[in-house]
Structures are given as C-alpha cells and as structure tokens.
A and B are shown apart, each in its own frame.
Chain A
Amino acid sequence: MRRIPLIGGTPLASAVVCAALALSLSACGGDDGGGSKGGTGAALEGRGPITFVTGKDRSGYLQKQVDGWNSEHPKEQVRIIELPDEPNDQRQQMIQNATTKSDAYSVLSLDVVWTAEFAANRWLAQLPKDQIDLSKMLPATITTGQYRDKLYAVPSASDAGMLYYRKDLLEKAGIADPPKTYDEMWADCEKVRKLPEGEDVDCYFTEVNKTESMTISAVEAIESAGGSIIGEDGKPALNTPQAKAGIEFLVNAKKEHMPKEAVTLDTEGGRRYFQSGKLLFQRQWPYQYALANSDDGSSKVAGKFAVAPLPGPAGPGVANLGGHNLAVSAFAKNKATSLDFIKYLAGEQSQRANLLATSKAPTIAALYDDPEMVKKFPYLPVLKAAIASAKPRPVTVKYGDVTAAIQGEMYDAVTGKKPVDQALTDLQGKLQPLTAQ
C-alpha cells in the first residue's frame, strides 16, 4: 500500500498532464469522415428559429436590431450567440462547431480573412448571387466574401486604414494640406518638430508588433509601393523590387520616425499614444475618430486632428481591407431563414441604423455620400476612397500559417534582426509551400 503514492506521485501526474493535453486535442479533432453537403450550391431551404454567432457586441445595439427582426418574424426567431472578444477565439469556436457538424450555429459573422479557409473546408453554404442585392455595395468588400468566384458571405461591415494627423500642428507649421507621399510626411514632420509645441512629438506610427497588425502594415506598405504579397498568379511575390521598397519604408519608419516603444504598441496602445498628443501622423482604423474626439478628458487631441488617405511613395497609398461578412453555416437548419436574416442585417436600412448607433463602417456605398451621415461622421468620404482602393490580405486557405509567417519575418526585418532582403527571401520560401495549391 505504501508504494501507491509513489507510483501515483510521478508517472500518474504526468499521465494527467498528457491526458489534459490529449483531451483538448482529441476534443477539437473530432472525426471528420463522411461527405458533407456544404458548399455545393444547393438551394437554401428550411424556415424556423436560427442563431446569429458573432463576436462580443460592445455597443449593445445588435440586440435591438435582432429584436426588430424578431417582432416581424415570430416563427423565425433569431438568438444571438456572443463569442469571445478575440478574433482568434471566435474562429476557434466556429471551427469546433463546424468540425462536429453541429447545427447550433446558423449565421456566422466572419472576419474578412477567414472566408477562404471556411469555404474550402465546406463549412459554409454557398449563397445564391441572384437572390442578394450586391449592386449597392462597395465592390472591394464583395470580393472578400467570395472564394473561387463563388459567393459565400455577404459583407456587412467594412474597415480600412486612414492617416490621422494633427491639424493644429500642421497649421502652426504653415502646412495647408496633409501629406500625400512619404517624403512630404517626413518633411512636414521636420517642420513641426521645429515648433516649440512639436518638440517631443513623434512623427509617425503604424502597428509593427508581432500580431495580425504586422501583416496589415506589411500589406499596406507593399501594396502602396505597387507590389503584392501574393501575386495575381497566386504565388508569393516577395522577390520583387516593389516588395522590397515597401518593407524598407516600414523599416526606415520604425528606425527614424516612430516612437521608441512602437513594437509594444497594439491598436489600443497606438490610440492612447495619439490621444496623449505625442504623435503627429498615425495610420489607424476609423473607430478611433469618435474616441479621440470625445471631450470627456480622455483625449488631449479632441478637435485638433483630421483624417486623410494614407500616403504612399509617390502619391496616395493603399489601405488594407478589414471588416466582417455574414455567412450561413453548412450544417445549419433553416437556411432559408438564415439567408433572409443576412439580407435584413446587411441591408441599407440596418447598416444605416448601425452606422448611426455604433459608427461601424458600412458596406453600402450610398451611405458614405449621405449628407446627414457625413455631417455626423466627417471621415466618411476619406474612408470611402480608402475602401474603394483598398487591397485585401492574402486570400488563402491556410491563412493562419501565412499570416504567422508574414508576422515573424516582417518583425525580424523591422526590428533589424534580419536585413530586408534576407527576410523577404525567407518569407518567399515559407509562403511557397503554403500557397502552392
């Protein structure tokens, strides 16, 4: 009997450890045998209650929109399932639901970069293009919902980077217009830093921490220089002079023009930095506009900034496309109701109400020109132009691997651990097998 604790004390404990590991793995790796009907373009049938699966809704407005639908469709009630805040956690839960072929999720709110992976794994029902009015939407957003020219998701919210700049400081330095090129931006910065108010101001910030934001910054830099991470032939195109020029801009900006702690700042960190008044130019998403303008004392730059299109090497730059699309799970019941609900939520009326309530960027082009909206959200014309010319992140089934490779190599380049050429060659080598399909 005395031996039992000894036996139990060690190998057993490690067995428990492994069991915990193994459990988590086998739990997510449920058997995937058997053919599924997803993605075959079959008609969407079935009416009845459905669920809407989305990330955390911080505004609280989504429930009101769903209530509006529910009061009109008593037999086709929609229930919201809120997933964690982190996009990666949302993706995980949706994948778990899909690999077990559960019908718990009906309508999915997908990040724009997930479409290819979800569609290729047959987790999404193909949507009938002829039944959905896409003509009012910005064309760039529609492509994010497609995989191999078939429609799998309807864009419901968009996003693109803009250049936030300190209007007050530029005016004091005698500069009338925001910069259109990198060189203009650095020259403007030189002038501002000669002012007494501009002494401790940092020039520029775009996110270069090793997260998805690094991929976004890399795409914007390379596309602005006329290059592309994945070329039109579907193969990586990092061995081009354009790609090199793009990344050299990032490396140089990080070295000479960004705050020292740039690699530790995430999206929110960048916002706080801008709001503290220490930044002249910043690449940031539209959501910052309202927050940086709030007069509750949290922002020192309220009323002192404006937005412009991103600058490029010689003329305007290219923004990256963000946003969310709505898709129908291949394993859902009541797919006809799901499609109707998507049409409702992505329709002009809902998007208009949503923009007013939550300032989420719409995908309907007309809303950007609506005088009432522009009055409330003065950045809309700039954002519309940014989205219209925006480029997506690499469209690939193995997006998780692709973005991790981009983040790793670009981070090494930006922090000076690797020369730009070496990082681009390595990345080219890593992306080749990932995209060779």
Chain B
Amino acid sequence: MTATERASAAGTPAAGPPRKRGRDVQGTKRLAALLLSPTLLVLALVIGYPVLAGFRESLYARGEGLDADGFVVEGDRFAGLDNYTAIFQGDRADAFWNAFSNTTFFTLTTVVLETVIGVAMALIMHQAFRGRSIVRASILVPWAIPTAISGLLWRWIFQADGAANALLRQEILWTADGFPAKMAVVIAEVWKTSPFIGLLVLAGLQMIPRDVYEAARVDGAGPVQQFWRITLPLVRPALLVAVLFRMLDVLRMFDLPAVLIGVNQKSVETLTMIAWFEASNLRYGSAAAYATVLFLYIALIAYLFVKLLGADIIGEARQHGRRERRRRA
C-alpha cells in the first residue's frame, strides 16, 4: 500500500504538473483576455473606429455641382479610389509632391539637428555642477511653450525688421513664401523640440551605472572614447525611442508652419496642411484620402526605422526572453 501510495504520490508530481500547467496557462490566458478586454475595447473605439471611418470617408465624395437653383447637390456618392487617384493628377500632383518633399525635408533636417543638439543638452544636464537645476529648467522652457505661441514668437523674430535680421545684419525676408521660410520653420522647430530629445536622453543617461565609467577610466579611456563606446551604446534605446517619436511628430507637422509662415505657402506646405485645406473647403473625402496617404507614409517610415535601427532592440529583447525561457526550462 505504502509502496503504491508512494509510487502514485511520486507519480503524481511527475505526471500531474504538465496537465495542471496546461490548464493554468489556459486559465491565465482567459483571465488575461478578460482583463485586457476593456483596454482593447477602448482602443478599438478611439483608434480603430476613427481609422476605419476616415478610410471609409476617403472613398466617398459629396457636394459636387450645383442644381438649377444654385444649391449644392446633396448626398454622398461612392467614389471608389477617385479621391486617391486625383491626388496624383495634374496640378494637385505638383502640390502633393511639393508637400511630400517639404514634409520629408523638415523631418530629415529637424530630426538630425534635434538629435545632435538634444544629446548635447542631455550631456550638459547630466553633469553635476552648481546651478544644474537652473540649466535643466531653462533648457526645458521651449518645450513647455505651446507650439502656436512659439510660432508667434518666432514670427516676430523673423519679421523683416525683427531680431533675426538685426542680429545677422541682413535683410532676409524670412516670413515670405520662399526658401528662407523653410529655414525659419526648421530653426523654430529645432529650438522647440530639442529639449524633448534632451529630456528622454537624460532619462537614459541616468540609467547607466556609474561603475561602467569607473571601469573605463581604470582602463584608460578618454572622455571621447567613453562617449562613443559607453554612453552612446547604452543610451541608444532611449535615444531611438525619442527620435522615433520626433519623426512621427514632424511628419504630421501643421501648427508651426501654419502660424509662423501661413497656410497655402508653397515653401512650407506639409501633407497635413493639404489635408486641412481640403477639409476646410468641404472636400472631406479628399481630405481623408490625403490623411490616409500620410498615414501610410508614416507607417512606412516607422517600420523602416524599426527594421533598420531598432532591429537590435527587438533582437536583444527576443534573445533575452529566450535566454530566460531556457534558464527556466
């Protein structure tokens, strides 16, 4: 009896756990689904529905033509992909590619400049010195100012008789439609958002343990070597997230060029501004089509960014997970 009992007692733990664990996993999964469902529901409502509704809108046209009494003909018309093909035809194609290149130009220039300046800011903010809190606070001020307000501030600076021209001793017409307007937007945007990158990178810097630097110093690494070999690789995950956020932000830039230079200005018109112009002239379908094209563009950029630069994070995390699983097994 005792022997069989012992055997069964010994057998149960051997045979039992897998079955029990299987049930556990299933139960956990169900519980997880249950706990997550409110979140998923909210996401579906506030993200899924608007995306789909926007896409649906882009397939319809309305308000085309007047009737005999001069009233706009009412009702929707299913237009299929007409709103999309119209984007790439004739004058509108010129406007689209102009806005597309503006958007890309702003994204490239501002993100590169912001990254360099932001990292420099973070390094300064990270140093321990007297008055550090004042420096930190003052670096963050531009980020705290609403974009529309900073657009107005910079418009005064860039006026023909403004501070920028007085400083440069030049007579550049910054706020008129033309290349200087592009520069004005880049400068204002970099001024405003470098602190954002600085802030995120600072958080990353504070995660780096001090002993790594001590070890480097013992090994005789200079400050430059320390920056390239230790700081940059270790702060990279935080930096990549910051850069990604900035890119997604700049790609849908609207308020700064609209306030600083104005709408309908060729040199600074972005894709969102075209979508806005279409919507404000009651072509909601066409506006939704532009927004969808922009969405696809942003998704593509984000995907490429993660694939090319962020691949390491994914790999690291996967390896990490695998290692842990292996360890558990």
Task: Give the B-binding residues of A (Cβ under 8 A).
Answer: 2-3, 6, 9-11, 13-26, 28-29, 32-33, 35-36, 39, 88, 91-92, 95, 119-122, 147-148, 209-211, 260-261, 263-265, 269, 397-398, 400-401, 404, 407-408, 411, 415, 430, 437
Contacts and interface: CB of A to CB of B under 8 A. Distances in A.
Contacts of A6: 306, 313-314, 317
Contact of A408 (B57, B264, B298): B264
Interface stretch (B107-115, B213-221, B226-234, B244-252): B244-252
Interface residues of B, number: 69
Interface stretch (B10-18, B173-181, B187-195, B200-208): B173-181
A317 B261 CA distance: 31
Contacts of B321: 2-3
B75 interface: yes
A26 B47 contact: no
B211 interface: no
Contacts of B173: 260-261, 263-264
A25 B51 contact: no
Contacts of A39: 71
A261 B158 CA distance: 12
B280 A13 contact: no
A259 B282 CA distance: 38
A224 B71 CA distance: 32
A2 B284 contact: no
Contacts of B50: 19, 22-23, 26
Interface string B56-77: 0100001101100111101110
Contacts, number: 171
Interface stretch (B125-133, B137-145, B286-294): B286-294
B47 A15 contact: yes
Contacts of A91: 280
Given A14-B299, A29-B57, A400-B281, A261 B171 contact: yes
Interface secondary structure of B, over-half rule: helix
A91 B251 CA distance: 27
Interface stretch (B19-27, B116-124, B271-279): B271-279
B74 A32 contact: yes
9 contacts: A18-B291, A21-B54, A21-B291, A21-B295, A24-B279, A29-B57, A29-B288, A261-B160, A263-B177
Q: Which 3 A-B pairs have the closest CB atoms?
A: A22-B54, A261-B160, A29-B284
A412 to B, nearest CB: 9
A22 B53 contact: yes
Decide if the interface of chain A is mainly helix, strand, loop or mixed: helix
A298 B189 CA distance: 33
B266 to A, nearest CB: 7
B320 interface: yes
Given A26-B57, A32-B76, A210-B262, A13 B244 contact: yes
Contacts of A20: 252
A21 B294 contact: yes
B159 interface: yes
A122 B47 CA distance: 33
A236 B292 CA distance: 34
A238 to B, nearest CB: 16
Given A210-B264, A408-B266, A14 B291 contact: no
Nearest to A276: B161
B250 to A, nearest CB: 11
Contacts of B65: 437
A401 B171 contact: no
A140 to B, nearest CB: 21
Contacts of B34: none
A22 B291 contact: yes
A211 B266 contact: no
A96 B309 CA distance: 43
Contacts of B175: 264
Contact of B317 (A3, A35, A95, A265): A3
Given A28-B279, A29-B285, 13 more contacts: A2-B318, A6-B313, A14-B299, A18-B291, A21-B54, A22-B50, A22-B54, A25-B284, A32-B76, A263-B176, A404-B277, A408-B264, A408-B266
Contacts of A25: 54, 57, 275, 279, 284, 287-288, 291
Contacts of B74: 32-33, 35-36, 122
Contacts of A92: 280
B260 to A, nearest CB: 12
A22 B51 contact: yes
